Structure 1
Amino acid sequence: MRDFRDAKAMAQTLRESLTTKAVTISHSESLELVSKMFGLADWNTLSALLHAERREPAAPVAQLKTATALYPAVPLRDLVPFPNATYPLFVGRESTVQALNQAFDGGREVVLAIQREAAVDDPRLSDVYEIGILSQLLELVPLEDGTFRVLTRGLRRVALRSFAAEALAYQAAVVEVSEGAVRDAREMIRRIYQHFQDYTAAHGILVPDLWLFFDSTRDAGQIADNVAARMKLPIKDKYELLATLDPMKRLERIDALLDLSQRPVSANYAATKRLALEHADRRRHQYTTLEHLLLAMTEDANASAVMCACDADLDKLRQGLVQYLDNELKHIVIDAGRPEPTAAFKRVDQRAPFLAQEVGYPEVTGVNALVALFAETRSPAARLLAEHGVSRGRVDKAIARGVG
Structure 2
Amino acid sequence: MAQTLRESLTTKAVTISHSESLELVSRMLGVADWNTLSAMLHAERRDASVPAAQLKMTTAFYPAVPLRDLVPFPNTTYPLFVGRESTVQALNQAFESGREVVLAIQREAAVDNPRFSDVYEIATLAQLLELEPLADGTFRVLTRGLRRVALRSFAAEAAAYRAEVVDVTEAAARDARDLIRSIYQRFQDYTAAHGILVPDIWLFFDQTRDPGQIADVVATRMKLPVGDKYTLLATLDPVKRLEQIEALLDLSQRPISVNYAATRRQALHHADRRRHRYATLEHLLLALIEDAEASAVMRACDADLGGLRQGLEQYLDNELKHTVTETESAEPTAAFKRVDQRAALYAQEVGYAAVTGANALVALFAETRSPAARLLAEHGVSRGRADKAIARGVG
Kindly state the Cα deviation for residue 336 of structure 1 after the two structures are TM-superposed.
3.2
1:171 alignment partner, SS class:
strand
Deviations 1:152-172 (A, max 9, x none): 110000000100011111100
**1:247 maps to what in 2?**
238
Kindly state the Cα deviation for residue 246 of structure 1 after the two structures are TM-superposed.
1.1
Distance 1:201 1:244 in 2: 27
2:266 alignment partner, SS class:
helix
**2:221 maps to what in 1?**
230
Distance 1:213 1:160 in 2: 30
**1:210 maps to what in 2?**
201
2:253 alignment partner, SS class:
coil
Structure 1: runs of 5+ lacking an equivalent: 1-63
Matching of residue 332 in structure 1 with residue 320 in structure 2 = no
Structure 1: 4+ residue segments shifted above 6 A: none
2:154 alignment partner, SS class:
strand
Q: Given residue 82 of structure 2, which amino acid in structure 1 is its aligned partner?
A: V
Alignment map for 1:46-85 (pairs within 5 Å): 66-85=57-76
Count matched residues. Answer: 341
**1:106 maps to what in 2?**
97
Residue pair 1:276, 1:296 contacting (<8 A) in 2 also:
yes
1:174 alignment partner, SS class:
strand
Q: CA RMSD in A?
A: 1.2
Q: Match for 1:139 among 114, 130, 133? A: 130
Residue pair 1:73, 1:96 contacting (<8 A) in 2 also:
yes
Residue pair 2:173, 2:210 contacting (<8 A) in 1 also:
yes
Q: Match for 1:317 among 292, 295, 308? A: 308
Distance 1:102 1:130 in 2: 22
Q: Match for 1:358 among 349, 354, 359? A: 349
Deviations 1:292-320 (A, max 9, x none): 00001111111111111111111111111
Alignment map for 1:291-310 (pairs within 5 Å): 291-310=282-301
Distance 2:393 2:271 in 1: 32
Kindly state the Cα deviation for residue 144 of structure 1 after the two structures are TM-superposed.
2.5
Residue pair 2:131, 2:140 contacting (<8 A) in 1 also:
yes
Kindly state the Cα deviation for residue 371 of structure 1 after the two structures are TM-superposed.
0.7
Matching of residue 188 in structure 1 with residue 165 in structure 2 = no
**2:146 maps to what in 1?**
155
Kindly state the Cα deviation for residue 139 of structure 1 after the two structures are TM-superposed.
0.8
Q: Given residue 308 of structure 1, which amino acid in structure 2 is its aligned partner?
A: R
2:64 alignment partner, SS class:
strand
Distance 1:255 1:68 in 2: 34
Q: Match for 2:372 among 364, 371, 381? A: 381
Distance 2:300 2:95 in 1: 47
Distance 1:105 1:285 in 2: 68
Q: Given residue 71 of structure 2, which amino acid in structure 1 is its aligned partner?
A: V
Distance 2:228 2:168 in 1: 20
Residue pair 1:184, 1:218 contacting (<8 A) in 2 also:
no
Structure 2: runs of 5+ lacking an equivalent: 1-54
Kindly state the Cα deviation for residue 262 of structure 1 after the two structures are TM-superposed.
3.3
Identity over aligned pairs, percent? 82
Q: Which has the larger displacement, 169-178 or 92-101?
A: 92-101
Matching of residue 398 in structure 1 with residue 370 in structure 2 = no
1:67 alignment partner, SS class:
strand
2:251 alignment partner, SS class:
coil
Distance 1:333 1:142 in 2: 60
2:88 alignment partner, SS class:
helix
Distance 1:191 1:209 in 2: 18
Distance 1:333 1:95 in 2: 65
Distance 2:154 2:315 in 1: 60
Distance 2:316 2:100 in 1: 61
Kindly state the Cα deviation for residue 178 of structure 1 after the two structures are TM-superposed.
1.7
Kindly state the Cα deviation for residue 96 of structure 1 after the two structures are TM-superposed.
1.1
Kindly state the Cα deviation for residue 106 of structure 1 after the two structures are TM-superposed.
0.8
Kindly state the Cα deviation for residue 65 of structure 1 after the two structures are TM-superposed.
6.9
Distance 1:264 1:220 in 2: 29
Distance 1:349 1:147 in 2: 39
Normalised to the residue count of structure 2, the TM-score between the two structures is 0.85
Residue pair 1:298, 1:304 contacting (<8 A) in 2 also:
yes
Matching of residue 261 in structure 1 with residue 290 in structure 2 = no
